[in-house]
Amino acid sequence: MQNTITVGLLGLGTVGSGVIEILRDHQEQIQHKTGCAVTIKSALVSDLSKPRELSGSTTTLTERYEDITRDPDIDVIVEVMGGIDHTLTILLEAIEHGKHVVTANKDLIAEHGAELFEACQKHQCDLYYEASVAGGIPIIRSIMDGLASDRITKMMGIVNGTTNYIMTKMAQDGVDFDSVLKEAQELGFAESDPTADVDGLDAARKMTILSILGFSMPFELKDVEVKGIRNISLDDIRYAEELGYRIKLIGIAENDHAGVSVSVEPSLLPVSHPLSSVNDEFNAVYVYGDAVGETMFYGPGAGKLPTATAVVSDLIAVLKNIRLGTTGTAYVQPQFPHQLKAKSEKLTKKYMRMQVLDEPGVLNEITHAFAEYGVSFDQVIQRSTDDENTRELMLMTHLVSEDDFEKAKHDLEQLAPVKHIHSIFRVEGGQ
């Protein structure tokens, strides 16, 4: 049996140096668990001249990825450099050279996972990606192994730390979106270009990965309906609170007889729901199984060491497979064909806040527009505004199909007394 496993590292940023740190600090423990030692032979960096802290390390740095992908000594590639197309090329070349791959790259797995798995199957290589979803939370493993015997029907996740941090601060401190975003950027919790986070793309990628795994079905990023958090106002947060709800950016994936629907959108959750208490930059994934009922997995969704923990735990799995001669056996083709749910089959409750003229009969006109499509209301709040000619109206519907809701909304927009629809969010749980 092989007693030393040699690793090539692609990327030496935050997570990369976390991987080096954990391999160094937990060396004995890893050797005890796997029966073999791990050496990082070389690391790909974009700029060799940049000063780095690698004291006592024997790792060679290179700017040429071929030095790693073609090095016959290297058994496993750990990819923590990010990026999509160029990174795909590198990894496919590495797999062709028989390297196993551990990656933290959600963008890559969400968009090219199938291609990578195919290559791995062909070359009997392992591909592990626990760190790509919810950082330090072992959610991929829990779905694949821990709940392997169950049929998963629903997953709900707070899978983006930046937006959860922003939503938490808005709710707790009463500060508006723009100010919190600015503060988060200064603190390093949000990128200087926050688009992928605040517009929901990052969360959508993670929900794509979870959906493929959890529902054993091929699934693409474009299948996810995505809405971001830019238009959530403090008014919405206050209305939600008043009704016993909190607003979170939630990824929801559902699978029933009518097919799968996956969305990422700001949603109202009852305060008693476990996901409502997930605050700051923490992540959590709620999983409903036919047999197990509800389970939740909570932890840090990002950060140097949490993410590196997931990467090194994957590396340990690969080490064990190498020692046992079972690499390339973990992947299972999706069992079911791709089937998206039609809009007419997607039933949700909606929260809606709008500005209407203060005239007799307005509420009746509005509820009539909804009643045409069979939409009825769970809660209604009407308030005065600074403008004495208008009123603010908050409506929460009972279950309604996406189809019917869109038609009702379209008719509503034609009504003269409806001045402006401020916001529409999904409502999850509750009565």
7 binds its own copies (CB under 8 A): no
Q: Do residues 303 and 136 make contact, with C-beta atoms less than 8 angstroms apart?
A: yes
* Sole binder of its own copies in the list 101, 237, 260, 312 (CB under 8 A): 312
What's the min distance (Å) between Cβ of 428 and its own copies?
Answer: 17
* 15 annotated to a ligand binding site: yes
CA distances from 30 to 18, 63, 131, 313 (A): 15, 29, 18, 9
* 191 annotated to a ligand binding site: yes
User: According to CB under 8 A, which residues from 216 to 245 bind its own copies?
Assistant: 216
Tally of CB atoms within 10 A around 255 = 23
Beta strands in 85-168 (DSSP E): 100-103, 127-128, 152-158
* 363 annotated to a ligand binding site: no
User: According to CB under 8 A, which residues from 324 to 383 bind its own copies?
Assistant: 324, 326, 329, 332, 335
16 binds its own copies (CB under 8 A): no
Is 341 in the active site?
A: no
Q: For residue 28, give both structure tokens.
A: 């004995």
Interacting span for its own copies (CB under 8 A) from 49-57, 207-215, 289-297, 411-419: 289-297
* 10 annotated to a ligand binding site: yes
The partner residues of 260 in beta bridges, in order of sequence, read: 255, 340
Which amino acid belongs to residue 292?
V
Tell me which residue of 121, 96, 101 sits closest to 328, measured CA to CA: 121
User: According to CB under 8 A, which residues from 137 to 196 bind its own copies?
Assistant: 137-138, 141-142, 145-151
411 binds its own copies (CB under 8 A): no
Tallying the residues shown for the chain, one arrives at 431
* Closer Cβ to its own copies, 224 or 316, answer by number: 316
Q: Do residues 66 and 97 make contact, with C-beta atoms less than 8 angstroms apart?
A: no
210 binds its own copies (CB under 8 A): no
26 binds its own copies (CB under 8 A): yes
Which of 99, 206, 349, 350 is labelled catalytic?
A: 206
* 13 annotated to a ligand binding site: yes
Strand 400-401, strand 390-397: pairing: unpaired
* 320 annotated to a ligand binding site: no
Q: Do residues 60 and 42 make contact, with C-beta atoms less than 8 angstroms apart?
A: yes
Residue given tokens 């799968």 in the structure block:
260
Beta strands in 224-320 (DSSP E): 224-226, 245-256, 259-270, 282-289, 293-300
266 binds its own copies (CB under 8 A): no
Residues 6+ apart with CB under 8 A from 150: 289, 290, 291, 292
Tell me which H or E stretch contains 183. Answer: helix 177-187
User: According to CB under 8 A, which residues from 313 to 332 bind its own copies?
Assistant: 313, 315-317, 320, 324, 326, 329, 332
Active-site positions read: 206
Binding residues for L-homoserine: 191
Binding residues for NADP(+): 10-17
Footprint of its own copies (CB under 8 A): 18, 22, 25-26, 28-30, 32-33, 130, 136-138, 141-142, 145-151, 216, 274, 277, 289-300, 303, 305-306, 308-313, 315-317, 320, 324, 326, 329, 332, 335
Binding residues for NADPH: 106
Binding residues: 10-17, 106, 191
